[in-house]
Chain A
Amino acid sequence: MLDNFLNQFWPSTVDGLALGSIYALIALGYTMVYGVLRLINFAHSEIFMIGTFTSLAVVGAFGFSEIGGIALVGVVLLLALAGGLASGASAVALEYLAYRPLRKRGAGRLAALISAIGASLFLQQLFARVLIPWWFDVPQEKGALPVQGHFVVREDVFAIGDFVVRNDKLIIFLAAILMMVALDQFVTRTKLGRGIRATAQDPETSVLMGVNIDRIVTATFAIGGAMAGAAAALYFMRFEETNYFVGFLLGIKAFTAAVLGGIGNLRGALVGGLTLGLIEMYGSAFFGSEWKDVVAFSVLVLVLMFRPTGILGESLQQARV
């Protein structure tokens, strides 16, 4: 066992960071919405799913194939932009249709949670039974099958012994770090970011101070959705396929990452995501892939026992420069 672990240490590290980066970007959406509305937006995984289909559509529309080298960075940027727009818009629409009416009527958080689960199932089935069969011209019962769009040429960027870094994994990691830093700066430095933090801290007082809550909520969903869309583009570059339930497992993992890092905390999402990715890969190398989730969740329970608010603990409102 230890042998396996040592043999696979460096490849596991690379894969863990790449996987963790995607977790982190999805976790942002959970964490931001939670920070502002105290709502766990279960439909966020479907917002991610919409992003992957956007990437698929863009790859198909431009007929990308055999993309490698620096061109891949450009293509991914385009996919992330398209995915961010589509997912961001979907997230705003979701909030408008599924959460806002409840909020306006003063419904409790539990009602919003049920609404979130309903929206999640609705979007999944909409894709599985209507959109995918229509789009790919397949019979309805084939709507559950994965759809592919191959376009990436995978090359090793550099290698130090076992530490081999491939182009797609490097792009994922760097893009995730870059986006996290940008978002962090946005929330701490801009007016809108200040509004988000104020609302997270005390919605009522912030209204009195002239913050337009509806605008803040819309912005929060838009940003969280856009991050999920960008994550979807990175995911699609890495795996080149998607299906209607692609967001389900990733969503659970990303939510776990958010809790691990400290839910409601932007930097916590990054720390939680990368930590979870690494634990999963190290755990698999040590015990075998079937133990991946057992190891990951054991660590989560241990962390929460000693730090109930997650690794970084603090929440969105306290994030300061």
Chain B
Amino acid sequence: MKLGTSALRLIAMAGVASLALTACGGEDSGGGGDVSEVSIGVMGDFTGENSGIVLPIKNAVQLAIDNYNATSPETKIVLKEYDSQAKPEQATALAKKAIKEDKIVGLVGPAFSGESAQVGPVLEEAGIPSVSASATNAALAENGWKYWHRVIADDDVQGAGLGAFITTGLAAKKVFVVDDKSTYGQPLGATVKASSESGGASTQTDSIDIKASDYSSTVNKVKAFAPDAIFFAGYYAQGGKLLKQLREAGVTGKFLSADGSLDPGLAKGAGTKNADGALIGCPCLIDPEGTAGDASKTFAEAYKAKFNASTAIYSAEAYDAATVFINAIKAGKVTPEDINTWIATADFAGVSKQIKFQENGEIAADDVYIYKVTGETLPLLGNAKTVKDE
């Protein structure tokens, strides 16, 4: 979602990073057999300005590993923390340290797409498997990396899932798609439009200028079309304004948006009266009440007990990412190479979804969750595949 950087820059810098690395090639962190202790890393922004959405990741990984160690297993796991502050250069340096000094056998993270793009080649070179809980940029899977994985669906999958939800779950016949012309919003809007159309709905589209505040031309278009559902592909600051102006003009169709708008700021901008009932999709599972299932409930309670805080964005995914490594080690795999081979065959029920990877490291499951704006909160409504909004 919002944290990807421009692709070109990434490719250029990734190239530099991999050049720098040829000197310190892959090191094997010891043979198999009886190993009493291995190190797993977790990387992300723990102290920078986006730490609010990354700390739940670190907590969830901590929880998973502490629980595992408490069972006094044959091979204990030591958790190493790498605070990248979401700065790609810092992340690259930390990744090298993790590989050379700490000899990690696996990494949960990096948290964001930008740092992932640059740490990816480093890990690839050293042959260290990674599982990210939160990097959703679709292009990450196109690098041909063999050691890279993520347990969250990308932006394309999200768009397709939401389009399907609009035409089946909401049974909308007329869908109006508004995008914000950003690198995040434009492709997302196009995917939702395409999948709504293949679901049998007629569509119309318009774009807004994120710098402007008067969206009345868009509002007039929506009003003339009288859609059952309006999908906004963009961030909450503009989403709130658009929703407000739509409702004030008397547009009554269902308002939907995606993870860029999954923020209380949407309701603040629109006014709670206007925002009530808006549906926001996200490939992430945020379920502090544990309503999504037994696994989610157990996780939410354990998390609350340990950290005295509710589960938050990406915590369930991070728990699943850590569980991938734990399960591999349980299966007696203690070298990076063995773990990576095991991950390719992994297939188990995680908290957020079924954990099974495609060949390119992308998660196989395409679950998208729907959240319903209620006041200034965003409680979980359910999985987009099954949920209906009455």
Contact = CB atoms under 8 A, between A and B. Distances in A.
Contact of B206 (A150, A240, A248, A289): A289
B49 A141 contact: yes
Given A146-B269, A239-B241, A241-B241, A289 B207 contact: yes
A201 B157 CA distance: 65
A285 B217 contact: yes
Nearest to A283: B217
A64 B223 CA distance: 30
Given A7-B224, A239-B241, A280 B213 contact: no
A137 interface: no
Contact of A292 (B209, B213, B223, B241): B209
Nearest to A253: B212
Interface in A16-40: 18-19
What are the 8 A-B residue pairs with the smallest beta carbon separation, nearest first?
A: A284-B217, A15-B216, A290-B207, A11-B220, A7-B224, A8-B220, A150-B271, A249-B211
Nearest to B179: A290
B181 interface: yes
For the side of the interface on B, what is the size category?
A: 20 to 34
Contacts of B217: 12, 15, 280-281, 284-285, 289, 292
Nearest to A19: B214
A154 B205 CA distance: 26
Contacts of A8: 220-221, 224
B268 interface: yes
B221 A154 contact: no
A290 B221 CA distance: 12
A244 interface: no
Given A141-B49, A289-B208, A19 B241 contact: no
A292 B214 CA distance: 12
Interface in B63-78: none
A282 B118 CA distance: 46
Contacts of B224: 4, 7-8, 11
A11 B214 contact: no
A148 B268 contact: yes
Contacts of A18: 216
A288 B213 contact: no
Contacts of A145: 237, 265
B212 A241 contact: no
Contacts of B206: 288-290
A255 interface: no
Interface string A264-292: 00000000000000001100110011101
Contacts of B271: 148, 150, 240
Contacts of B213: 235, 239, 241, 246
A281 B219 CA distance: 11
B223 A11 contact: yes
Q: Which of B216, B221, B265, B269 has the most CB of A within 10 A?
A: B216
17 contacts: A4-B221, A8-B220, A11-B223, A11-B224, A15-B214, A141-B49, A146-B237, A146-B240, A148-B271, A239-B214, A241-B269, A246-B213, A249-B211, A285-B217, A290-B207, A292-B217, A293-B209
A57 to B, nearest CB: 18
B252 to A, nearest CB: 15
